[in-house]
Structure 1
Amino acid sequence: MRLWAIKLCASAALLAAMLWWTDTAEVGARLARADWPWLAVSLGALTLATLSMARRWQLTAQALDIPIGFGAAVREYYLAQLINSVLPGGVLGDVGRAVRVRRQADLARAGQSVAAERLMGQVAMFGLLALGLIGAVLVPGGIAWPGGVWALLVALPVLCAVALWGARQFQATRSFPGLVWRLIGHGWIVMHAVLGALLLVLGLYAAARATGSVIPPEGLFTVLPLVFCAMLVPLSVAGWGWREGAAAALFPLIGLDANAGVAMGICYGAMMLLSALPGLAFLWVPGAAGAAPEGAGPS
């Protein structure tokens, strides 16, 4: 409970600091005159991303011989996103997915299906970031990136390799690196990983447009993925505070001010919460992912 309180306070403090540092009136004005068609695009992109990620999880579970129907996967994913949106840490909903699907498998395989599916999504987002930064090197006259960004690009694959090596040192997770390599060779899973990442970027871009900012092409797969990277910091509730801070720091690199970055972050956070609200309906839908497997669908 103490850790939850720390995460909640961290998000609240960071968001308050961003609003104090920027022009609160300007941020509020951008949000007040938000463009509804672009809000609809953001919400639609996040909804499609949820469906794609649910399918990604279904296919990942099938690779572990865990039968989950697509409808059940969607139900569980919405529940997980709703919990992750309102509780600190951003993983409690995913833990719940693993616990409930254990009825169709042992808890270790259920947990691996959730962890591997989330990892595939993060790898896809990091891949977009890497391609964007490589493109920034090849195309002269673009963003003048600070050295820390290039250090991050080098550090990410090293950290992933260290994490996979560490997983092999423990009996409970020894098979996890092999599972990840298997999934990388699964075309449909990779496709949904990339599609989910692209839809999340579209949702964030639409939130920027809704609040009056136009992200230039050189920022689509550099600045926006970096904002998503900031949301992975575990000391937060659904990325609040870190997302706005990253956007405020990065937006001046693409000719936009910090006010625009904070407004985009708040707008996107609201769209994330709104897109997760169908999870409330699923709370009253009988059954869970492991209770009644539906047609597994094509794999």
Structure 2
Amino acid sequence: MTRARRALLRGLLGLALLGAVLALADPARVLAQLRQAQPGWLAAGLAAAIASNLVSALRWRALARWLGAELGAGDACRWYFQAMGLNALLPGAVVGGDVYRAVVLRRAGHDTAASSWSVVLDRVSGLWMLCAIGGLGAAACADVLAPWLRLPAGSFAALALTGTALWLALPWGLPPLLRRSRAAGGWLAPLRAAALRPDFARQWAWQAAASAVVQALSAAALAGGGLALGVTQPAAVWAWAVAPVFLMAALPVSVGGWGTREAAAVAALAPFGVAAPAAVGVGVIYGLYGLAQGALGALAFGLPRREPVSGN
């Protein structure tokens, strides 16, 4: 199967899933929910989404510079939002935008390995913290989620907290693992060199803090979309929901996450009594936030690239 056909198939699968979710939720009810959205909360959610991605861009910049690819703040933000534009338009969720970021950084004259690893590690750190925040949210919502798995609330919370603690500790085991590995040559060599640097712990701590801010703002954006539709839930619920919603949206089986994101929103919010039409509406609004930011990225395509400013 050619690449074009695979891309078309992904797009059709995503549209089919979105259609199925809308059919189950009743399109008329979903549309009614969206029509009554409160503009103030919509604007607040969009502002949180934009802030989240601005922090993401600066996080990527810090990681790229640490790996030796000098990158100005303006270029980092511009390229990051351009990548979002590609993510919103091309099949493959975040894959297309990530490839674009690596390519433009390499074309700016930086080392291929540093360009590629800056994007890979940036994406991994974001997903790592996303899962951790989701785990903490799940523990806080144990009374509601545990019965769905037929577990006592205390046991569910203990499992969620233990798993989250182990997950958060995972990156700190990377340096000794790479030090002992015999297969850390070739394409893994730049990763091994970075992990064995004396300032690895400091850099990863900064990366973790930035990722926590990113995911907190993303959860706030999701909550803003919910509040715009009258879906009022505690912060812990949005902290839990943010993980399955964003992870499903990142799967490379749709265009811009449409379909997978809305299905995940229905599943994640159902235990808390959120009706399917409202949950689908929350997913749709967050998808529209992505399209709006993608439009900003599309506008930035025509702007001239500024040369990175050297310095630490």
Q: 1:264 aligns with which of 282, 285, 292?
A: 282
Report the counterpart of residue 111 of structure 1 in structure 2.
116
Other-structure match for 1:92: 96
Q: How does 1:144-293 map to 2 (within 5 A)?
A: 144=146, 146-147=148-149, 157=167, 171-176=186-191, 179=194, 185-186=202-203, 187-287=205-305, 292-293=307-308
Corresponding residue of 1:127: 132
Alignment match, 1:142: 144
Q: Is the 8 A contact 1:84 1:238 kept in 2?
A: yes
Q: CA deviation at 1:148?
A: 11
Instruction: Give the letter for the 1:46 counterpart.
Output: A
Distance 1:198 1:218, change over 3 A: closer
264 and 285 in structure 1: CA distance in 2 versus 1, 3 angstrom threshold: same
Aligned residue for 2:53? 50
Superposed displacement of residue 145, structure 1: 5.3
- When residues 148 and 79 of structure 1 are mapped into structure 2, their CA distance, relative to the original with a 3 A threshold, is farther
**Matched positions, count:** 290
The CA deviation at 1:224 is: 2.7
Tell whether the 8 Å contact from 1:203 to 1:268 is kept in structure 2 after alignment: yes
Which consecutive residues of structure 2, in runs of 5 or more, have no partner in the other structure? Answer: none
In structure 2, what is the Cα distance between the partners aligned to 1:270 and 1:238?
10
Identity of aligned residues (%): 28
The match for 1:63 is 66
| Counterpart Cα distance in 2 of 1:148 and 1:176 | 42
Q: Does the CA contact (< 8 Å) of 2:138 and 2:145 recur in 1?
A: no
Task: State the TM-score, normalized to the length of structure 2.
Answer: 0.83
Distance 1:54 1:279, change over 3 A: same
- Separation (CA, whole Å) in 1 of partners of 2:27 and 2:235: 28
Distance 1:177 1:29 in 2: 53
SS, match of residue 6 in structure 1: helix
Residue 148 and residue 38 in structure 1: after superposition, are their counterparts in 2 closer, same or farther (change >3 A)?
A: farther
* 1:135 maps to amino acid: A
Query: Following the alignment from structure 1 to structure 2, what is the Cα–Cα distance between the partners of residues 59 and 6?
Result: 37
Q: Structure 2 CA distance, aligned partners of 1:31 and 1:195?
A: 28
1:32 maps to which of 27, 30, 35:
35
Q: What SS is found at the alignment partner of 2:80?
A: helix
With the length of structure 1 as denominator, give the TM-score of the two structures.
Answer: 0.86
User: Is the 8 Å Cα contact of residues 167 and 173 (structure 1) preserved in structure 2?
Assistant: no
Counterpart residue type for residue 10 of structure 2: K
Q: CA deviation at 1:12?
A: 0.2
- Mapped to 2, the partners of 1:126 and 1:242 lie a distance apart of 17
Over 3 Å counting, the alpha-carbon distance change for 1:21 and 1:147 in structure 2 is same
Classify the secondary structure of the residue corresponding to 1:239.
coil
Root-mean-square deviation (CA, aligned residues, Å) is 3.1
SS across alignment from 1:226? helix
Unaligned stretches of 5+ in structure 1?
none
In structure 2, C-alpha distance between the alignment counterparts of 1:167 and 1:258, rounded to whole Å: 51
Q: Are the equivalent residues in 2 in contact too, given 1:216–1:254 (CA < 8 A)?
A: no
SS of the aligned residue for 1:277 comes to: helix
**AA at the equivalent of 1:142:** V
**TM-aligned CA deviation for residue 180 of structure 1:** 6.2
- Greater CA deviation, 181-190 or 147-156? 147-156
Match of 1:73?
76
Q: What amino acid sits opposite 1:122 in the alignment? A: L
Deviation string 1:73-105 (CA, Å, 9 cap, x unpaired) is: 011101111111111112112211111111332
Deviation per residue, 1:124-145 (Å, 9 max, x gap): 11110121223344xxx33335
CA shift for structure 1 position 271: 1.4
Deviates more, 1:241-250 or 1:172-181: 172-181
